[in-house]
Amino acid sequence: MNSRKKVAVLAASMVLSTSLSAFAMPLEKVGTGFAKNVIVLIPDGMSQGGVTLTRWLYNEGAPLNLDGITSGLVRTNNSDTPIADSAPAGTAMATGHKTQDKLIAVKGKAATLYGSNSDDVKEALAPLATVLELAKTQGKAAGLVVTSEIMHATPADFSAHAVNRKNYNDISEQQVFQNMDVVFGGGYKFFTAADREDKQDLISEIKGQGYQLVADKKQFDAITDGKVFGLFAPSDLPYELDRKQDEPALPEMTSKAIQLLSKDKDGFFLMVEGSKVDWAAHNNAPAALTADIKAFDDAVGMALNYAKTNKDTLVIVASDHGNGGISMGNEATSGNYSTLPINAFTDTLKKVQMTEETLAKAIIKNEEHTSDLIKTNFGFVPTEAELNTVIAADSQGAKMKALRTILNKRSNLGWTTGGHTGEDVALYVYANNYKNQLTGTVQNSDIGKYIAKAIGGELDKTSEQLFVPSTAFGKYGVKCAVDNSDAKNPSFVLTKNGHSYKFQENRNYFVGPEGKVTFNGVVVYNDKEVFIPQEALKMLK
């Protein structure tokens, strides 16, 4: 090797070591226990192209609330694949551990990519404590605000543990027994006996626990105090563009949640998700997407308003992954992109009054008025060619596709996929002191670690406290038998010194010789092993 080559190799290795330490530094520099309150806001599946378009469309190009707190980039990969889905991506943010597809706050079976933790595989599918659960152990109030059903992947990642995101039975039951203070979103039907596989009536359970159960805007507005479950739809809430006056908007729910949670003298943790940013991106639907990003940005504004007058509040915002690959500019603009004026991108979308989903439904009911319906609700008279594509589309899905293709073409927008994308997403942080700000290119799992550090806790220690595996019950002098007589509602009989105690999957209490005793945390059963909080095991006599 000649000397010039040696220098080049040396320089390359220096760059590598510098960039590695630069990656590790931001979190290490952050102080411990600097925040009493934490508000995490997640615009699910928000790619940066959507933010740029929203800024032009709704703010004439002036900064959004988000723009004031830009802090870095987030790497979103799973422990074993580069493109994330919400379940593992939200798990990383909630627990500080990268994991695999479908998993809700449990350890993965594979850790092959950079940023994952190979030790996790040794305890695959064991539950991981979330920042919400950590906050609860510190006596803080906790809340979730979403526009999907609340058992959807992202809110589930913060409040439940399951080996599959589709397991709404377990996820929703844990959410009811997680002792949260404020829950706003959709998903009423998944709590009803009629819609549950296990036939449990969790609506009665919610009421029995002293929650105020609210279902519309009027009841929502009347709430001023206490614990509340607000379930405003059987499953997901409408897109912002389709939202009706009697349904609360995301910024209103965020503001109300802060108002209620901030009454706790120990502080609070709140997770807010702009859930349907992701759904609009999957559909490549530009009007639905930008309206939901705008509503999300308004929710960020609510959080910042609070944090600016309550300096012990940390606000952190990051999407969980990209979606759709939206771009201003598409194949048709390859030759003229630099001369296109701003209204070539915004004029059409500014006049859109409803999502293409709602318009497609209206057109199917009234096919002969397709042109008028487009004119009234999308704000332009379709060309004959455009009209023909909508009329020829023979299903609701096909009509939706025809309508959004027209919007995208008229707005010079491109999309690369109907699925998620693997690029980094933006990190936004508002901390009370610049020294405590998470910056740089970080891992999604650093967000969970950062929040834990901010409130002076440790997630892995909390996992040990909240989830003692049955293989370790011997240390507490306890024997455990699984009772599967009700297959949909397994229970666990723990015995100690001749006394027996019955625990139930997903719940926060046991029934022993002295009756029902509640504890902090929930019983988690991954169909192989049961995990019970240390606090509960220590209560057994």
Q: Binding residues for Zn ion, per CB under 5 A? A: 44-45, 86, 278, 320
CB of 191 to Zn ion, least distance (A): 23
Type of residue numbered 49 = G
Say whether 86 is catalytic: yes
Q: State how far the Cα of 41 lies from the Cα of 538, in Å rounded to an integer.
A: 36
Where does residue 92 fall: left (phi above 0), alpha (psi -120 to 50 degrees), or beta otherwise? alpha
In the complex, what is the shortest distance from the CB of residue 329 to Zn ion, in angstroms, rounded to a whole number?
A: 25
Decide: 108 and 80 in contact? Cβ < 8 Å.
Answer: yes
Rounded to whole angstroms, the Cα distance separating 148 from 151 reads 8
Residue among 252 and 273 whose Cβ is closer to Zn ion:
273
DSSP state of 361: H
Nearest to 431 by CA among 263, 321, 303, 319: 303
> 532 by DSSP, 3-state: which?
strand
Contact 108, 77 (CB under 8 A): no
Q: Which is nearer to Zn ion, 252 or 320 (CB)?
A: 320
Taking the least distance from each CB to Zn ion, the nearer of 267 and 325 is 325
Catalytic residue (choose from 47, 79, 86, 275): 86
Torsion, Cα 352 354 358 359, to 10 degrees, reads: -30
Least Å distance between CB 321 and Zn ion?
A: 5
Closest distance of CB 37 from Zn ion, Å: 25
Tell me how far apart the terminal alpha carbons of the chain are, to the nearest angstrom.
72
Residue nearest to Zn ion (CB): 86
CA 348 to CA 380: how far, in whole Å?
A: 8
Q: Residue 44 or residue 173: which is nearer to Zn ion going by CB?
A: 44
Residue 148 contacts residue 276 (beta carbons within 8 Å) = yes
Residue with smaller CB distance to Zn ion, 50 or 382? 50
- CA dist 400 and 357 (Å) reads 6
Tokens at residue 541, please? Answer: 């006599």
Neighbours of 470 (CB within 10 A): 19
Q: Strands (DSSP E) along 439-508, which ranges?
A: 440-443, 468-469, 479-483, 491-496, 499-504
Q: What does the alpha-carbon distance between residue 285 and residue 107 come to, in Å, rounded to a whole number? A: 34
Phi-psi group of 136: left, alpha or beta (phi > 0 → left; psi -120 to 50 → alpha; rest → beta): alpha
Residue with Cβ nearer Zn ion (173 or 320): 320
Of 165 and 196, which has the nearer Cβ to Zn ion? 165
- Residue 189 or 282 having the CB closest to Zn ion: 282
CB of 320 to Zn ion, least distance (A): 4
- The DSSP call for residue 119 is G
- Shortest approach of Zn ion to residue 86 CB, angstroms? 3
- For Zn ion, give the closer residue by CB, 325 or 521: 325
Burial of 88 from C-beta contacts in 10 A (0-12 / 13-18 / 19+):
buried
3-state helix, strand, coil in the chain (%, to 5): 45, 20, 35
- Shortest spacing between CB 448 and Zn ion, in angstroms: 16
In the complex, minimum distance from the CB of residue 274 to Zn ion, in angstroms, rounded to a whole number? 10
Segment (H or E) for 387: helix 384-392
Per the structure block, which two tokens stand in for 70?
Answer: 């830009």
CA nearest 517: which of 507, 525, 526, 529?
A: 507
Q: How far is the CB of 187 from Zn ion (least distance, A)?
A: 17
Q: How many helices, marked H, and strands, marked E, lie in the chain?
A: 19, 22
**Which residues are part of the catalytic machinery?**
86
